[in-house]
A and B are shown apart, each in its own frame.
Chain A
Amino acid sequence: MATADMNESGAKPWLLLSPALTAITLLLAIPICFIVVYSFWLKTASGVPQTGFHLDNWAEVLTDVFYRDILFTTLKIAFLTTVVCILLGYVPAYFIAMTTFRHKAFLLLLLMLPFWISYIIRTMSWINILGGSGAINAVLLWLGIVDEPIRMLYNEPTVIIGLVHYLLPFMVLNIYVSLDGIDRSLVDAARSLGCTGWQAFREVTLPLSLPGLAAGSLLCFVLSAGTYITPLVLGGPTDAMFANLVFEAIITQLNWPLGSALSLVLLVLLGLLVTVYNRFIGMSQIAKTFG
């Protein structure tokens, strides 16, 4: 019987799980509990933090407008990135799902390729496009439209462009998985009952693709809100995001207690989002993408 020991639990599965669970406990769960404690300690000149229960870091993080402003900027950038990803990503996902083109698998493979291309390379590649001596300026100069290079780099829009370029494949793939699972006869039924193509899309296809859209949006938002490399490479000096504050506090200022408090703010905010998503849609939608 194939399912015989599916029902028999015993110690075996726990034995198999124990190495991974030990790793996750020691390298993730306990460290996160540890930085909760650490965020109540204080930085001292000697480098050894002063233990105890001090609210100073939290008071600073939660009341200083500097942190609040950067937090809002971060959420705004993450939101705009997600919206642009939806606008750019839905149509290609629809095309790949619905096309009768012979090389559909090839289109999908092309879509997966950017996953494999280094994030830092893809981010810095925009300098070659938008930079003072980049492709766009080279063309404009050559055509004689401008006399000197236009300054396009190192501002908030370029940070968003970089993030969209990095995250778009996640969005397209999630929407594609959802669209591909739709029973085509539902659309045919809608059409035969008198819907126009657009109505059938709006009433049938679009609602059925929402779980994929939601999964893609969650990934885009969470991943962009937690980034600090893109603003460092493509942003100007004032385009710091929240994770840049964490990096500054931990690596540059060596203020570990403050860095702990800052990272916990990020964890709680994004964690809330993931929890809400998990409550209403569930993680299995994201897991499908790997199938």
Chain B
Amino acid sequence: MSWFLIRTYTILVYVFMFAPVAVVMLLSFNANQFGSFPMEGFSFRWFVELWHNDAVMRAFRTSLILGSLTAVISTTLGVLASLAMVRYNFPSKNFMATVLIAPILVPEVVLAVALLLFLQFLGIHKSFLLLLLGHVIFTLPFVVLVVQARLYAVRREYEEAALSLGANALQTFFAVTLPLIAPAVFAGMLFAFTISFDDITGTLFWKPGGVETVPTQIFAMLRNSISPEINALGTVMILITVVLPVSGIALVRKLSRNPGR
């Protein structure tokens, strides 16, 4: 009996989590001109309008470029740092672990203000560069946490074998270590991309006037009225941010099942 209650409660909480998202996706196909209930037939018109909306397409391009650059830079920094944390013992290692996740221990608003004012003081005004630097520092801890967790599973014997067979450190890294840690690198990049693609809290502080990312574009559109176009945009966002990582995770699982480890 009580287990039945627990199960029902769990189902209700899942409904609470997913119903609003499901409604967004449902309404995005609504033919009704206000995009609200009642549903008046099925149509793709809002997706077509989205495609022809220049502001939205520009925002998409900005988000994609920003997310990709963030993913590459942040993962490079994160993987190197994680290698140091997982492979070596050194004094003040515990302190370094805290330092590496410091950017998420600081409230994002505070990080946003501090970075904005400091770089402005140095003469770097609101720009794409500021956005990129902000996204890199904000995603770095997530990359470190994810990559570190995966690196613990990679065994060291293969590298030692390569080294003892005469490969130098660089050869070993590119021929042995990198292929072994590829799933971790991939997971880090995916994580950084998604967080960057989704960020609004810092982005609203850092973005120059006239430049919008997808979330800030949605935010700007919300200020007018909630149009079905927003729901359509939401549906596209959900597909990108869910289908991409889920297929990514599936790929990582498949890659890490190879006999290399």
Contacts and interface: CB of A to CB of B under 8 A. Distances in A.
A18 B113 CA distance: 25
Interface residues of A, number: 90
B84 A13 contact: yes
A28 B102 contact: yes
A263 B77 contact: no
17 contacts: A23-B140, A28-B106, A31-B118, A32-B106, A95-B6, A96-B10, A116-B245, A119-B200, A119-B215, A124-B222, A125-B20, A128-B23, A227-B201, A263-B107, A263-B114, A264-B110, A270-B107
A267 B237 contact: no
Contacts of A216: none
Interface stretch (A133-141, A186-194, A206-214): A133-141
A125 B234 contact: yes
Interface in B126-169: 133-134, 136-137, 140, 142, 144-146, 148-149, 155-157, 160
Given A19-B77, A24-B100, A125-B23, A35 B113 contact: yes
Nearest to B37: A138
A241 B143 CA distance: 30
B200 A120 contact: yes
Given A20-B140, A125-B234, A165 B219 contact: no
Interface stretch (B45-53, B64-72, B91-99): B91-99
A9 B88 contact: yes
Contacts of A226: 107-110, 201
Interface in A104-134: 109-111, 113-114, 116-122, 124-129, 131, 133-134
B81 to A, nearest CB: 4
Main secondary structure of the interface of B (DSSP, over half): helix
Contact of A23 (B2, B27, B77): B77
A143 interface: no
- A24, A28, A111, A246: residue with the most chain B Cβ atoms closer than 10 Å: A28
Interface of A: 2, 5-9, 12-14, 16-17, 19-21, 23-24, 27-32, 34-35, 38, 88-89, 91-92, 94-96, 109-111, 113-114, 116-122, 124-129, 131, 133-135, 137-138, 142, 165, 168-169, 172, 197, 222, 225-229, 232-233, 243, 246-247, 250-251, 256, 259-260, 263-264, 266-267, 270-271, 274, 278, 283, 287, 290-291
Contacts of B13: 88-89, 91-92, 168, 172
Contact of A131 (B88, B107, B226): B226
